[in-house]
């Protein structure tokens, strides 16, 4: 069996890759994922100033901070028009079929993060909570968030990926061997990213022998017998969506629309088998990559009577302890290790209010994940107290600073355990919203590559 056929059997296709021509300033071309800085228009306004009319993926995406604006339809029309213009003018052109090996360095991590840009088969992906497909979400999909994203993709000639998909590869068999040989591959790009977001390099992988090796490695990770021995279930999870879950769900929804539109046609089966909308461009990243940080996402509740909420937790069996300061409480949670995010042990959190700090411990939680434990009580409390607001916070200092404000309560969550990540998704389904973050906002994927998603 040919390597590409083997790749197709594990849900991967070799895409035709489009990149900007050599006259384009790549630093202005690449912008961060559209779902970042969604409450900070000033970030995107500054990006616009830096781009200053040059060819840029800024013109091909819809930053989510503008989704609630009144010019949504105008923006979508402009995006699709610019995509066609970039193709017609040769600003974007095909580099042929291949994968892109990516090395991303940031100011936040000592080691680079490695990735492999591929196309995945949307027929092998389902985004429901109880999905058993080869490709699965790791967090709940909010279907109400899909329509505006579908409006952008529907009729667009191109897609640009900010989706990052995880593979559970502790022996580092898929991506890392390519990186060790990177100097033998054609360089695709090499440049500094805007706004102090680090550096990115890409190498184009077109060699058939590499496709053969990658397919063999993925087959090994997805071997049913080995998977059953490791996880005790038959339904193989090969790819877990780490970032961009709603973007992949959007691609899936448009693919279902495409299939429905072809229903009844005598050539439908043949046409749909190779239709470009059947696939989505993503970056594969090894869960065990040394440059891939997993951070817990903390919670801050607003307009809340903190003692009342803590009393509710105590009434549900939580042990509340007070400490001298927030730093000591946070350190106690960190010291509990990643076990605080997994099954079989106590779930520990820290809290901080205007004038107090301490820890919360559930000795025998019902949920496997600590975040599920605390989010369940937050949701129940907010249902009874609709005046209480919530925000999801990255970083210790931000969680403390916001928690210290009058009328607020900061909740600090324990570290995330990479080793149990796939197991939780396999046995429990999609995790609660805002469970983890793969790095800080500047570390997210920047748009560089593109792929056509319409037929000729």
Burial class (CB in 10 A: 0-12, 13-18, 19+), 386: exposed
Give the pairing of strands 239-243 and 135-137: parallel
CB 182 within 8 Å of CB 175:
no
Cα 180 to its chain centre, rounded Å, is 26
Sorted by where each starts, the structural domains of the chain and their CATH numbers stand as 3-293+440-452 (no CATH), 295-415 (3.30.1760)
Helix (H) and strand (E) counts in the chain: 15, 21
φ/ψ of 64, rounded to 5, equals -70, -15
Given CA atoms 243, 39, 82, 146 in this order, what sign does their dihedral have? Answer: positive
Burial class (CB in 10 A: 0-12, 13-18, 19+), 171: exposed
| Alpha carbon distance 109, 112 (integer Å) | 7
In the chain the first and final C-alpha atoms are separated, in Å, by 28
Residue 308 burial (CB count, 10 A): 11
CA distances from 143 to 35, 155, 270, 295 (A): 16, 20, 30, 25
| Alpha carbon distance 291, 276 (integer Å) | 32
Look at residues 374, 381, 370 and name the one whose alpha carbon lies nearest to residue 428.
Answer: 370
Query: What is the length of the chain?
Result: 456
CB 405 within 8 Å of CB 286:
no
Look at residues 395, 305, 363 and name the one whose alpha carbon lies nearest to residue 108.
Answer: 395
φ/ψ of 391, rounded to 5, equals -140, 155
DSSP string, 264-288: T-TTHHHHHHT-GGGEEEEEEEETT
CB 354 within 8 Å of CB 406:
yes
- The pTM (predicted TM-score) of the whole model is 0.87
Per-residue pLDDT of the chain (456 residues; tens, 9 = 90+): 799 999 999 999 999 999 999 999 999 999 999 988 877 889 999 999 999 999 999 999 999 888 888 888 999 999 999 999 999 999 999 999 999 999 999 999 999 999 999 999 999 999 977 889 999 998 877 788 888 889 999 989 999 999 999 999 999 999 999 999 999 999 999 999 999 999 999 999 999 999 999 999 999 999 999 999 999 999 999 999 999 989 999 999 999 999 998 887 888 788 788 899 999 999 999 999 999 988 888 999 999 999 999 999 999 999 999 987 899 999 999 887 654 444 458 999 999 999 999 999 999 998 878 888 999 999 999 999 999 999 888 778 888 998 999 999 999 999 887 878 888 888 878 787 778 888 888 899 999 999 999 976
Instruction: For tokens 């009580």, name the residue.
Output: 377
Q: Give the tokens for residue 164.
A: 């990052």
Helix residue spans in 67-127 (DSSP H)? 72-88
Residue 443 burial (CB count, 10 A): 24
Sequence-distant (≥ 6) Cβ neighbours of residue 404 within 8 angstroms: 326, 352, 353, 354, 410
Which helix H or strand E contains 438, and what residues bound it? none
Q: Give the tokens for residue 129.
A: 């909570």
């Amino acid at each position: 069996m040919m390597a590409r056929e083997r790749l197709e059997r594990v849900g991967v296709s070799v895409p035709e890759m489009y990149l900007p021509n050599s006259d384009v300033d790549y630093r202005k071309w690449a912008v961060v994922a559209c779902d970042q800085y969604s409450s900070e228009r000033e970030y995107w306004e500054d990006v616009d100033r830096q781009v200053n009319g040059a060819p840029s993926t800024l013109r091909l995406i819809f930053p989510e901070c503008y989704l609630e604006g009144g010019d949504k339809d105008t923006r979508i029309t402009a995006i699709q028009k610019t995509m066609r213009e970039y193709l017609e003018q040769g600003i974007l052109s095909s580099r042929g079929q291949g994968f892109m090996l990516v090395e991303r360095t940031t100011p936040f991590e000592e080691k680079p993060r490695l990735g492999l840009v591929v196309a995945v088969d949307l027929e092998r992906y389902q985004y429901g909570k109880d999905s058993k497909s080869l490709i699965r979400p790791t967090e709940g999909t909010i279907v109400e968030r899909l329509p505006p994203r579908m409006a952008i993709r529907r009729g667009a000639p191109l897609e640009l990926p900010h989706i990052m998909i995880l593979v559970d590869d502790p022996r580092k068999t898929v991506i890392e061997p390519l990186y060790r040989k990177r100097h033998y591959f054609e360089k695709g790009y090499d440049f500094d990213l805007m706004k102090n977001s680090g550096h990115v390099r890409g190498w184009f992988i077109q060699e058939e022998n590499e496709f053969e090796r990658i397919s063999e490695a993925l087959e090994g990770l997805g071997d049913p017998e080995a998977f059953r021995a490791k996880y005790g279930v038959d339904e193989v999870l090969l790819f877990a969506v780490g970032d961009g879950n709603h973007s992949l769900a959007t691609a899936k929804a448009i693919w279902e629309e495409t299939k429905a539109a072809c229903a009844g046609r005598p050539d439908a089966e043949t046409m749909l088998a190779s239709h470009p909308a059947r696939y989505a461009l993503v970056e594969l990243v090894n869960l065990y990559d040394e440059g891939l940080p997993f951070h817990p996402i903390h919670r801050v509740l607003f307009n809340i009577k903190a003692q009342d909420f803590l009393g509710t937790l105590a009434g549900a069996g939580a042990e509340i302890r007070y400490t001298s300061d927030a730093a000591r409480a946070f350190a106690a949670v960190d010291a509990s290790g990643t076990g605080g995010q997994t099954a079989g042990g106590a779930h520990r959190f820290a809290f901080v209010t205007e004038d107090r700090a301490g820890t919360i411990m559930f000795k025998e939680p019902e949920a496997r994940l600590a975040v599920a434990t605390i989010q369940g009580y937050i949701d129940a409390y907010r249902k009874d107290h609709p005046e209480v607001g919530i925000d999801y916070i990255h970083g210790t200092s931000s969680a403390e600073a916001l928690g210290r404000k009058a009328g607020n309560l900061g909740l600090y969550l324990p570290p995330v355990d990479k080793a149990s990540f796939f197991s939780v998704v396999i046995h429990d389904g999609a995790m609660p919203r805002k469970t983890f973050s793969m790095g800080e906002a500047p570390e997210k994927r920047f748009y560089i590559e593109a792929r056509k998603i319409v037929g000729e």
